[in-house]
Amino acid sequence: MATDTTNQSEAVAREQLLDLAAEFYDQFADGAVPSMQIPTRTKSNIEYDEDAEVWVYGDRHSTRSAKTVSGAKKLLKAIYVIDFLSTQLDEDRSSTLRELYYLSESWDHEIAQFSDQNESNQLIEDLEIVSDVSREDFHMRPEESGATLMGPLQLREQTRRGERDIHCQKDVGEGGYQIPNNPDTIEFLDNDADFVLCVETGGMRDRLVENGFDDEYNTIIVHLKGQPARATRRITRRLHDELDLPVVVFTDGDPWSYRIFASVAYGSIKSAHLSEYLATPDAQYIGIQPTDIVEYDLPTDPLSDSDINALENELEDPRFQDDFWTTEIEHQLDIGKKAEQQALAARGLDFVTDEYLPSRLDEMGVI
């Protein structure tokens, strides 16, 4: 079943890519100037979609046109990439973003070669948006690996070497289950979970596992590994949607971590075109909140200039424009401090699993 869907989406992907190429061809044939329109991917162009409850791109576009020298160069690169991707799909192969960058060096036309990986990454994102196909469906992988899962969940994964059925507590080691690059190849079979807990840092995740938190509270612990990869966000969404589980997010108490929460819950600015697919709007934020820092008298670090900048930026970020966030961010600017989630250890190693999480989860109505 999954295979079929995968094959289907790949066929769709290939068709979309070739459609794009055909469009350019037609433009030439008409004697027009080849061009491509893409929505601008900045925080000034994201808006809230009421129905999907996530943040998507607005109406502002920029046009890449062959009329200018830089536009023509970009279009040439785009066409080369389209060619490459359609071949890749045809041959059922995949590659990483970094590999694409290096590959381009072998292309015959010098201008088509990428000057750095950022450029090729951006182009893949452009193509995603324009062709309405995710890069996973192009068979393009990022470097970062996705999350690990630990919890009462039985799943089936389609791999190159056949199907695998895995239980995410009994069949995995200390590290947990490593999700694949394309989590849509996973099928959920059975679960015993009450909620999903996304954790930012490896240290805190290990603490929770060591203390048996997943067992005691029937929770699936998802290790975000910092800024979560698309696969991670996708799996979180699927866990919420398909298994009907509430999702909570537990990160450090600093602006960068708030963004981590935002990308899980609201959608990221870079991939707002896939928000519907990747974001979990019902996700809730546990902490560390600035009020926690004060209440639990946690060991702190002072806010650096870039932290302050980031916080002020967030006050302008449309995704953070609600009462909860504005109050908390302003509070943090007031106290001028930040704290890691592992600082809770100052109150004892078990404080987090015995006191902090249970009482907070109770407050939030999760348990």
Partner 1 sequence: MTSYQSELGGRSNVAEELAESQRSISIAEFFEKNKHMLGFDSGARGLVTAVKEAVDNALDATEEAGILPDIYVSITEAGDYYRLVVEDNGPGITKEQLPKVFGKLLYGSRFHVREQKRGQQGIGISAAVLYAQLTSGKPAMITSRTDGDSDAQYFELIVDTDSNEPEISVDTTTSWERPHGTRIELEMEANMRARQQLHDYIKHTAVVNPHARIEFEEPRERLKFERVTDQLPAETEEIRPHPHGIELGSLIKLLDESASHTLSGFLQSEFTRVGQKTAESIVTAFRDRHYGRELAWKPAPAPVIESAVSDVVNNKSPDATATFAQRVAGAVSEQPRVAHHECRAIVANAADHVKSTTGSTFGSTVQGHTVEAIWELTLDGVESELTELIDEVTTARKSDETIDGMARRLVTKLNGVDRHRLTHGDIESFVERAATQTEQRDDVTFGETAQQKVIEGVWSISSTVPDDPPSVTAVSNDRDFASELLEAMRETDILAPPTDCLAPITDELVEEGLRKEFDADFYAATTRDAEVHGGDPFIVEAGIAYGGDIQSDGSIDVLRFANRVPLVYQRGACATADVITSINWRNYGLDQPGGSGTPNGPAVVLIHVASTNVPFTSESKDAIANVPEIEHEIELAIRDAARDLKRYLKKRRSLQQRKRKRNVIADILPTMAEKLADMTDQQSLMIEDSLARIMSNVLIERTTTDDGVALTVTNHTDTTTELSVTDIVSVDPGSLESATVVEMDGEWFVTWEPTVESGETARLQYDLDGDAEFDISVEGIEAEKLSVTA
- Whole-number Cα distances in Å, 14 to 39, 47, 100, 225, 298: 22, 30, 17, 32, 53
Question: Nearer to partner 1 by C-beta: 68 or 309?
Answer: 68
Nearer to partner 1, 131 or 169 (CB): 131
Residue 288 and residue 251: Cα distance in Å, rounded?
6
Residue type (1 letter), 109: H
- CB nearer to partner 1: pick between 76 and 335: 76
* Binding stretches for partner 1 (CB under 8 A): 18, 21-22, 24-25, 27-29, 31-34, 66-69, 72-73, 75-76, 79-80, 82-83, 86, 109, 111-112
Q: How many C-beta neighbours within 10 Å does residue 210 have?
A: 12
**Least distance between partner 1 and beta carbon 118 (Å):** 21
Question: Which of 5, 3, 15 lies closest to 89, judged by CA?
Answer: 15
Cα-based torsion angle of the residue sequence 333, 339, 341, 346 in order, rounded to the nearest 10 degrees: -140
Nearer to partner 1, 14 or 135 (CB): 14
> Least separation, in Å, of the C-beta of 19 and partner 1?
9
Of the chain, the end-to-end C-alpha distance in Å amounts to 35
Residue 280 beta carbon to partner 1: minimum distance, rounded to whole angstroms:
38
Question: How many residues comprise the chain?
Answer: 367
Instruction: Give bridge partners of residue 293 from the DSSP assignment.
Output: none
- Find the Cα–Cα–Cα–Cα dihedral 128, 131, 136, 137, rounded to 10°: -170
Q: One of 25, 80, 101, 102 is an active-site residue; which one? A: 102
For residue 29, the minimal CB distance to partner 1 (Å) is 6
Rounded CA separation 366/62 (Å): 44
Spatial separation of the C-alpha atoms in residues 167 and 171, rounded to whole Å:
5
For the CB of residue 76, give the shortest distance to partner 1 in the complex, in Å: 5
102 is an active site residue: yes
Query: 120 vs 353, which CB is nearer to partner 1?
Result: 120
**Which residues are identified as catalytic?**
102
